[in-house]
Amino acid sequence: MTKLTRRTFGVATGALMLAMLAGSTVPASAQTLDSVKQAGKIRVGMLVDVPPFGLMSTTGQPEGFDADIAAMLAEYLGVELELVPVTGPNRIPYLLTGQVDVLAAALGITEERSKQIQFSQPYSGLGAIILAPVDMEVSSFDDLADRSVGLPRGGSQDPVVTSSALPSTQIQRYDDDAGAVQALLSNQVDSLAVATVLVPQIEQMAPGRYDTKFLLYSQVQGIGMRPGEADLLEQVDAFIAQARAEGKLEELYEKWPGTRPADQQD
Amino acid sequence: MGFQFRFEPVLAAWPELLEGAWLTIQLSLAAMAIGLVVAVLCALAKTSGPKPVRVVVDFYIEIVRNTPFLVQIFFIYFGLPALGLRLSPGNAALLALVFNVGAYAAEIIRSGIEAVPRGQIEAGIALGLKPLSIFRHIVLKPALRATFPALTSQFTLLMLSTSVLSAISADELTSMANNIQSRTFSSFEVYLVVTVIYFAIYMLFSAMFALINRRAFSYPSK
């Protein structure tokens, strides 16, 4: 989650500009698709510290939603897969300097990033919502007047809630997600501002007690590619369309709860 | 590559820090006052109460002194609502502090009470004093006088342990510091400022304790 803040993004753009300055030696990544086919291997950059998208398994292997997507992509292209762990700030420089062929790195599709790289169709998403007891009628910040909202200190939802909540809404900040969720479960707060990735877990702990009231923010994520490679983009988009049509994406959303794009949230 | 100190965003947030410091002071003072009453009652019960009361008080003291403070806070804040008692973060924090300091201070005062020579009490009886007067003037006062330094250090610890209360979103000083820190990323600077504030609060309390000591416990007794 913290990988996606504006600050880390700023670092990423800074690093990118450096890379560009350093840059005429950057391989003119003419045709990634050809070189991938030729090498028989695709290098996919993924994050390993943003569950459920990417994490390290107990045996030290990268796994998660993005790892599964990467494996499916490699299979679709008929090549072997090499997963390259990247970090939030360095993932775009890695792509642009040719260290990886594509990025499946929980990369939110934003206008600024679209100026530097090209994105596939959205294949996953994350966001934050207001969660509250089913029988509480809340559909906007106005309805949260005189009510309390719990949230983890410093989470991405904090600035959104702080700037939009009415003065009479009590914002209660807890040290982490666990504390905030516990506060909701024990009725210490009326509602919770929570990342969508946690919603399935809360549902599991208290089936049927809470539902999503409204969206705080959301982003959809696409597979990132070097710009100007129409044939690769076409292949990757076709792959995502096929995975969606065959229900494989759906299976992954089930396997890794909280990865479904917000507009497909049920 | 020197470290760039950025105190401006921290100092700009001084109203928040002040608010947090004020809550820390309020919570500490209230917990000391109520905790002292709880402690004296527990110490009295332990030294001269009937057996069943002694057992209950012993149980309370052992529970508190052998479990982490954070767990006690979580129990009071997250656990009690299950029993139908929903406390605000501030009240839950105060209850947890009183619950905690009461037990520690009870043991300190008990040791003072037990140190009062038997003959002194017998002298009181011989003079025809009522039991309550004997307890007040002959037992409790010397006991408090003897244990005052230990009590004040326990109370100082209490003031410092309020910093844990940020876990239940009580907006005391450390909680405010965490908020500012997560917003400005100037964590070192925030905690430096907060450390100074804690020290200032300690100095304040220290002066207060010295004053109480001089007024209430200095010889010759009034």
| Domain enclosing residue B58, as ranges | 8-217
CATH of the domain at B101: 1.10.3720.10
Q: Look at residue B196 and tell me if it is in a domain.
A: yes
Nearest-Cα distance to chain B for A151, in Å, is 10
Residues in A closer than 8 angstroms to B165, CB to CB, are none
Q: Look at A7 and B183 and tell me if their CB atoms are within 8 Å.
A: no
With CA atoms as reference, the chain A residue closest to B74 would be A179
Contacts of B166 in chain A (CB under 8 A): 175
Percentage of the residues of chain B whose pLDDT score is greater than 70: 98
Are A172 and B175 within 8 A, CB to CB?
no
Give B219's Cβ-side CA count (13 Å radius).
Answer: 2
Residue B68 belongs to some domain of the structure:
yes
- Judged by a CB distance cut-off of 8 A, whether residue B71 touches chain A is no
* Sequential pLDDT tens for chain A (266 residues): 444 555 555 665 666 555 555 444 444 445 888 889 899 999 999 998 888 898 888 888 899 999 999 999 999 999 999 999 998 888 888 999 889 999 999 888 888 888 889 999 999 988 889 999 999 999 999 999 999 999 988 777 888 899 999 999 999 999 888 889 999 999 999 999 998 888 888 988 899 999 999 989 888 899 999 998 999 999 999 999 999 999 999 999 888 887 888 666 54
Q: What does the pLDDT read at residue B221?
A: 56
Please report whether residue B1 resides in a domain: no
Question: How many angstroms separate the most distant Cα atoms in chain A?
Answer: 63
Total structural domains within chain B: 1
Stretch B142-165: mean pLDDT: 94
Q: What is the average pLDDT value for chain B, to the nearest integer?
A: 91
Strand residue runs (E) in B111-222: none
Q: What are chain A's domains?
A: 2-125+219-264 (3.40.190.10), 127-217 (3.40.190.10)
Pick the residue from chain B with its C-alpha nearest to A187. Answer: B81
In this structure, is residue B222 part of a structural domain? no
pLDDT tens column, A172-189 = 999 888 889 999 999 999
CB B144 within 8 A of CB B217: yes
Three-state SS string over chain A comes to CHHHCHHHHHHHHHHHHHHHHCHHHCCCCCCHHHHHHHHCEEEEEEECEECCCEEECCCCCEECHHHHHHHHHHHHHCCEEEEEEECCCCHHHHHHCCCCCEECCCCECCHHHHCCCEEEEEEEEEEEEEEEECCCCCCCHHHHCCCEEEEECCCCHHHHHHHHCCCCCEEEEECCHHHHHHHHHCCCCCEEEEEHHHHHHHHHHCCCCEEEEEEEEEEEEEEEECCCCHHHHHHHHHHHHHHHHCCHHHHHHHHCCCCCCHHHCC
In a domain, B146, yes or no: yes
Q: What is the pLDDT of residues B96-117, one digit of tens each?
A: 999 999 999 999 999 999 999 9
Q: Are strands A41-47 and A102-103 parallel, antiparallel or unpaired?
A: parallel
- Under 8 Å between Cβ of A215 and A129: yes
Taking CA–CA distances from A150, the nearest residue in chain B reads: B169
Contact A174 B182 (CB under 8 A): no
The dihedral through the CA atoms of A12, A13, A14, A20 has a sign that is: positive
Sign for the CA dihedral angle at A69, A71, A72, A73 comes to: positive
d(CA B31, CA B76): 15
**A79-109: buried (b, 16+ CB within 10 Å) or exposed (e) per residue?**
bebebbebbbbbbbbbbbbeebbbbbbbbbb
Using CB atoms, which residue from B79, B167, B183 is nearest to A175? B167
Interface of chain A toward chain B, CB-CB under 8 angstroms:
7, 150, 153-154, 158-159, 172-175, 179, 182-183, 186-188
Q: What is the pLDDT of residue A26?
A: 43
Q: Please report residues of A whose CB lies closer than 8 A to that of B13.
A: none
CB distance from B186 to chain A under 8 Å? Answer: no
Q: Strand pairing partners for A7?
A: none
What is the predicted pLDDT for the residue at A264?
62
Structure tokens at A170: 């009590």
More confident residue, B221 or A243: A243
* Mean pLDDT to the nearest integer, B1-14: 80
Query: Is the Cβ of B78 closer than 8 Å to some Cβ of chain A?
Result: yes
CB contact under 8 A, A175 and B78: no
- Which comes out higher in pLDDT, residue B178 or B209? B209
Question: Is the Cβ pair B169, A187 closer than 8 Å?
Answer: no
Residues A177 and A2: their CA atoms lie apart, in Å, by: 13
Cβ contact A188–B89 (<8 Å): yes
Spell out which residues of chain B touch residue A188, defining contact as CB-CB under 8 Å.
77-78, 81, 86, 89, 168
Cβ neighbours of A5 in B, within 8 Å: none
Q: Reduced to 3 states, what is the DSSP secondary structure of residue B77?
A: helix
Q: Determine the residue of chain B that is closest to A7 in CA distance.
A: B185
Check B182 against A158: CB less than 8 A apart. yes
Cβ <8 Å between B86 and A182: no
Inter-chain CB proximity A187 and B166 less than 8 Å: no
Contacts of A182 in chain B (CB under 8 A): 78
For B50-74, write each residue's pLDDT tens digit.
999 999 999 999 999 999 999 999 9
d(CA A193, CA A128): 7
- pLDDT, residue A29, reads 46
Mean pLDDT of B173-186: 84
| B148 occurs within a structural domain | yes
Confidence (pLDDT) at A238 = 95
